[in-house]
Chain A
Amino acid sequence: AQSVTQLDSQVPVFEEAPVELRCNYSSSVSVYLFWYVQYPNQGLQLLLKYLSGSTLVKGINGFEAEFNKSQTSFHLRKPSVHISDTAEYFCAVSPSGGYQKVTFGIGTKLQVIP
């Protein structure tokens, strides 16, 4: 079984400042890792995913994440946030190899302050 821990429930950050949203996972098998974003009153949208290969993954809207196997982490970063980045961000994990059940973290609310 897999589990995901998002260490921060809320992260306030000033506009144009950098941000890091933390995610740790546990699994006894190799995994795929995902970050999804949920804007107010909308469904979830895929930001980026790690399946294999380079541990630094770039996604939409200037976000990137780095897979660290030794620390079982997949932290999400953006060098300069915008007001429009205000949303809830979910880290997710699934066993690798075709479709498998996805386990989601509890989410981190990013509040960008003008």
Chain B
Amino acid sequence: SAVISQKPSRDICQRGTSLTIQCQVDSQVTMMFWYRQQPGQSLTLIATANQGSEATYESGFVIDKFPISRPNLTFSTLTVSNMSPEDSSIYLCSVPGGAGGQTQYFGPGTRLLVL
């Protein structure tokens, strides 16, 4: 299984500012995923980040709000831009694993509170 770290682990931010979340994997992976877990809700996929191409965003998420970088096969960043209190969530990155990539391995998450 992959070992995934995220920075920061938590942050408190003011509305209107932006925060960049980093995700580091201990092995090279083609695909990385970013999820949002809003309070009391399940995980929602924000986007899929492939190295060397633009991220693919899910319905309801746009690049201007959640720009993603994928500079190499072990690293990705997600920026939450122009934050509002509604952006207060846990943000998780994950990578596929297991034979055929059916399983997902998750990072510890970044807990964001926007005031």
The answer to whether A and B belong to the same complex is yes
Distance between A94 CB and nearest chain B CB, rounded to angstroms: 7
Of B42, B45, B105, the contact of A46 (CB 8 Å cutoff): B105
Q: Are B106 and A99 in contact (CB under 8 A)?
A: no
Partner-contacting stretch, out of A19-27, A79-87, A104-112: A104-112
Q: On chain A, which size bracket covers the interface?
A: 20 to 34
- Name the residue on B nearest A107 (C-beta): B42
Q: How many residues of B contact A (CB 8 A)?
A: 21
Answer whether residue A53 sits at the interface, using C-beta atoms and an 8 A cutoff. Answer: no
- Name the residue on B nearest A49 (C-beta): B103
Of A43, A45, A99, the contact of B96 (CB 8 Å cutoff): A99
Q: Are B92 and A101 in contact (CB under 8 A)?
A: no
Q: How far is the CA of A90 from the CA of B106 in the complex (A)?
A: 13
Q: How far is the CA of A98 from the CA of B31 in the complex (A)?
A: 13
Instruction: Spell out B's residues near A (CB within 8 Å).
Output: 4, 31, 41-43, 45, 92, 94, 96, 98, 100-109, 111
B-side binding surface: helix, strand, loop or mixed? strand
Q: A105-B42, A106-B42 in contact; A44/B103 too (CB < 8 A)?
A: no
Which residues on the A side are within 8 Å of B94 (C-beta)?
Answer: 44
Could you show 9 A-B contacts with beta carbons less than 8 Å apart? A43-B109, A44-B43, A44-B92, A45-B106, A49-B102, A98-B101, A99-B100, A99-B101, A105-B42
Contact with B along A18-52 (1 / 0, CB 8 A): 00000000000000101010000111111001010
Instruction: Spell out A's residues near B (CB within 8 Å).
Output: 32, 34, 36, 41-46, 49, 51, 90, 94, 98-99, 101-102, 104-107
